């Protein structure tokens, strides 16, 4: 069953918020940039030839491919006939070229313990882990679930799977036993790789009990492989079931340190990653090997302008696609040195990230708008107490970044001058799709700017026609790309229906977007979040950005609720920046509502406005507007399984600082 996000004929999404500040590239940066404007021209002239050239230049093949693309809409095969191993491309070839001593990961545990892992270390550890998988009966093609904290064994486990061709499915360590068992059952995994737990906000957070619970309803699992991270810090010790559960140390450490990577087809399934949509059952997004490797590594090098000696830090969790593409496969394929941090940004205090950047002289930081807004709420004093001069490029991903958060990021983290790359993409796209190229693109705060070279994007109306420049509509992708999803695991019909059925021949991303008069793309959030007020389709993103542009506001979420007069009324939830003058008073509420009216239009003025201490978010940091709609309308809450912190909803409900007309 599909859910039609547009039950009635829909006009375009209104394009109301005007943000026209511009930041041209610094000529000194441009002179040394990896990317050039010629890439766009080359890719446009012949996209397939463009990707084929890059695939031959960037990938070490066991066998060359004979066909660049087989496109049986909507099923793509890239680099057909080729054989390769992605773990070899991420590790061994660098060691063979003399980079064995180079650091792959500077790992930092939350309590302050550290490990330095070179590419030679990775080669040895991944080979041993691959041999252990074989001993545990895992074969090429078998699925392996990985449920771990942010410790080095997490990428090691993924690469060990990739080395033998066993597709992995990483389940974020914050998910419940139920979520884990659902994913294991869907893909019929044979093994779970996990840990006794990890450190989170100064406390041990055990993981193994959730695995035990999940396995009560996961008959396909034969073994668990358990890394010892917490050891004695687990109260009462970690229970291990004889014959089923194996400590990592016991089996991996005694393996031979050499393993011959298996040569796999270009289209071999590298991994599955589950993403929840509007319906309850998560979708197992399938990614393959060669196209994914090319997409992740090439975008990584171009979008972040990564140089051989850079220290790069993507502060996402490996459990999300951002971590797969831009902590593991992209950076390692480029022989990049990365920071990997176990904990949260507020432990022991909000200076932790900035301390890490100072200590490791981090050159590139990639994080989510939710993190930037959380830092904005705390104030810039934490960042100001540290030397951040090593930073050269700052990235953002996961949600639209409000212009003010963009400007804050650049001013306080990027010394007012460093390029910001706002990157739009999805679990499904595998790679960054819409982004500035630093040194090439003139940026505008809040705009993801233009499609990456070779990517074709359009903004269309509900009839499928291109919306003229200056207007808003639905974001679609019109041409296959190497890292695209190959399907939904076990459900080709759902794949067609979800992404390819609404507009024939086009991939419908589910996001709204506008293109300004200069062709810049502005992402407007998920289309299910769009509101219809007095016949105007308004994007939540624009109203939220208007609220955040007020100096008292750190973060805002906007949802629609039924209104007898206007159809839908706008309800705003606002988090104030910490500061003595920012009191949640009715007067400030009125001021904020007027501020939106001036910034956008009186039709966009929120009817209700509530000050809240926090917002319900998914575990990857996206605001769950669906739950806010339930709260605003006094309904019972819908599915809350992906909610990061269940207490937040009660906090909001018990909050009294509301102001209404």
**Which residues form the interface with ligand WTA (CB under 6 A)?**
275, 320-322, 397-400, 422-427, 448, 509-511, 523, 526, 620
Provide the greatest CA pair distance for the chain.
73
Q: Is 105 helix (H, G, I), strand (E, B) or coil?
A: strand
DSSP labels for 330-375?
Answer: HHHHTT-EEEEE-S-TTSS-TTHHHHHHHHHT--EEEE-HHHHHHH
In the bound complex, what is the minimum distance in angstroms from residue 614's beta carbon to ligand WTA? 20
- CB nearer to ligand WTA: pick between 252 and 273: 273
| Contact status, residue 295 vs residue 431, Cβ threshold 8 Å | yes
In the bound complex, what is the minimum distance in angstroms from residue 250's beta carbon to ligand WTA? 36
- CB nearer to ligand WTA: pick between 353 and 424: 424
- Give the number of other Cβ atoms within 10 Å of residue 591's Cβ: 14
- CB nearer to ligand WTA: pick between 360 and 495: 495
| Contact status, residue 350 vs residue 187, Cβ threshold 8 Å | no
Q: Distances in Å between the alpha carbon of 425 and those of 43, 300, 422?
A: 19, 13, 10
In the bound complex, what is the minimum distance in angstroms from residue 297's beta carbon to ligand WTA? 16
- CB nearer to ligand WTA: pick between 423 and 545: 423
The CA distance from 37 to 39, in Å, is 5
The CA distance from 503 to 480, in Å, is 15
CA torsion sign for 95, 100, 105, 107 is positive
In the bound complex, what is the minimum distance in angstroms from residue 150's beta carbon to ligand WTA? 17
- CB nearer to ligand WTA: pick between 35 and 588: 35
| Contact status, residue 401 vs residue 373, Cβ threshold 8 Å | no
- CB nearer to ligand WTA: pick between 85 and 322: 322
| Contact status, residue 600 vs residue 17, Cβ threshold 8 Å | yes
H and E: helices and strands count for the chain: 22, 31
Quick one: which of 541, 386, 406, 412 has its CA closest to 472? 541
In the bound complex, what is the minimum distance in angstroms from residue 368's beta carbon to ligand WTA? 8
In the bound complex, what is the minimum distance in angstroms from residue 10's beta carbon to ligand WTA? 18
- CB nearer to ligand WTA: pick between 509 and 600: 509
In the bound complex, what is the minimum distance in angstroms from residue 531's beta carbon to ligand WTA? 16
- CB nearer to ligand WTA: pick between 321 and 357: 321
The CA distance from 443 to 139, in Å, is 47
| Contact status, residue 382 vs residue 410, Cβ threshold 8 Å | no
In the bound complex, what is the minimum distance in angstroms from residue 569's beta carbon to ligand WTA? 24
Token pair of 549 as six digits: 């542009």
- CB nearer to ligand WTA: pick between 196 and 529: 529
Q: What angle do CA 266, 272, 275 make, to 5 degrees?
A: 135
In the bound complex, what is the minimum distance in angstroms from residue 210's beta carbon to ligand WTA? 22
Specify the DSSP class assigned to residue 380: T
- CB nearer to ligand WTA: pick between 168 and 526: 526
Strand pairing category for 364-367 and 311-314 = parallel
In the bound complex, what is the minimum distance in angstroms from residue 427's beta carbon to ligand WTA? 3
- Give the number of other Cβ atoms within 10 Å of residue 420's Cβ: 20
């Amino acid at each position: 069953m599909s859910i039609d996000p547009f039950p009635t004929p829909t006009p375009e999404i209104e394009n109301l918020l005007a943000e026209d500040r511009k930041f041209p590239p610094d000529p000194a940066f441009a002179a040394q940039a990896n990317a050039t404007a010629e890439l766009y021209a080359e890719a446009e002239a012949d996209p397939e030839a463009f990707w084929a050239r890059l695939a031959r230049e960037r990938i070490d093949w066991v066998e060359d491919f004979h066909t660049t693309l087989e496109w049986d809409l909507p099923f793509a095969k890239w680099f057909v006939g080729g054989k390769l191993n992605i773990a070899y491309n991420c590790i061994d070839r660098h060691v063979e070229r003399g980079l064995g001593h180079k650091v792959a990961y500077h790992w930092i545990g939350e309590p302050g313990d550290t490990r330095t892992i070179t590419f030679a270390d990775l080669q040895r550890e991944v080979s041993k882990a691959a041999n252990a998988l074989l001993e545990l009966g895992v074969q090429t093609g078998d699925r392996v679930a990985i449920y771990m904290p942010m410790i080095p064994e997490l990428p090691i486990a993924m690469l060990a799977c990739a080395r033998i061709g066993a597709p992995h499915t990483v389940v974020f360590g914050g998910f419940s036993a139920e979520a884990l068992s659902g994913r294991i059952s869907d893909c019929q995994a044979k093994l779970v790789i996990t840990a006794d737990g990890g450190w989170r906000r100064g406390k041990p957070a055990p993981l193994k009990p959730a695995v035990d619970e999940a396995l009560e309803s996961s008959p396909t699992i034969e073994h668990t492989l358990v890394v010892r991270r917490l050891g004695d810090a687990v109260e009462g010790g970690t229970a291990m079931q004889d014959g089923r559960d194996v400590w990592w140390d016991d089996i991996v450490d005694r393996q031979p340190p050499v393993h011959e990577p298996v040569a796999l087809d270009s289209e071999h399934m590298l991994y599955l990653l589950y993403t929840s949509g509007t319906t309850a059952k998560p979708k197992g997004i399938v990614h393959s090997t060669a196209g994914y490797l090319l997409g992740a590594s090439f975008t990584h090098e171009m979008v972040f302008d990564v140089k051989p000696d850079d220290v790069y830090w993507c502060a996402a969790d490996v459990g999300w696609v951002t971590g797969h593409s831009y902590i593991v496969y992209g950076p390692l394929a480029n022989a990049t040195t990365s920071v990997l941090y176990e904990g949260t940004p507020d432990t022991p205090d909000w200076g932790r990230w900035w301390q890490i950047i100072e200590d490791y002289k981090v050159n590139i930081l990639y994080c989510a708008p939710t993190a930037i807004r959380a830092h904005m709420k705390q104030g810039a004093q934490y960042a100001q107490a540290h030397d951040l001069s090593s930073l050269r490029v700052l990235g953002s991903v996961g949600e639209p970044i409000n212009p003010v958060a963009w400007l804050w990021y650049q001013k306080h983290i990027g010394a007012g001058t460093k390029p910001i790359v706002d990157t739009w993409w999805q679990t499904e796209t595998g790679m960054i799709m819409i982004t500035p190229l630093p040194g090439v693109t003139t940026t505008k705060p809040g705009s993801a700017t233009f499609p990456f070279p070779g990517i074709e994007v359009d903004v269309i109306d509900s009839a499928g026609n291109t919306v003229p420049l200056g207007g808003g509509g639905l974001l679609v992708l019109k041409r296959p790309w190497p890292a695209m999803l190959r399907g939904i695991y076990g459900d080709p019909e759902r794949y067609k229906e979800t992404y390819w059925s609404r507009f024939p021949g086009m991939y419908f991303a589910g996001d709204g977007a506008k293109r300004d008069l200069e062709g810049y793309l502005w992402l407007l959030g998920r289309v299910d979040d769009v509101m219809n007020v007095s016949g105007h389709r308004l994007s939540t993103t624009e109203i939220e950005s208007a609220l955040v542009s007020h100096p008292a506001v750190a973060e805002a979420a906007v949802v629609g609720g039924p209104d007898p007069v206007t159809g839908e009324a706008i309800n705003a939830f606002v988090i104030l920046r910490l500061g003595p003058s920012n009191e949640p008073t009715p007067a400030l509420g009125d001021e904020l509502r007027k501020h939106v009216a001036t910034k956008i239009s009186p039709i966009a003025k929120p009817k209700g406005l509530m000050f809240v201490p926090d917002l319900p978010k998914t575990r990857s940091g996206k605001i769950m507007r669906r739950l806010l709609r339930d709260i605003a309308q006094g309904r019972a809450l819908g599915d809350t399984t992906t909610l990061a912190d269940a207490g937040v909803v009660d906090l909001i409900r018990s909050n009294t600082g509301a102001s209404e007309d």
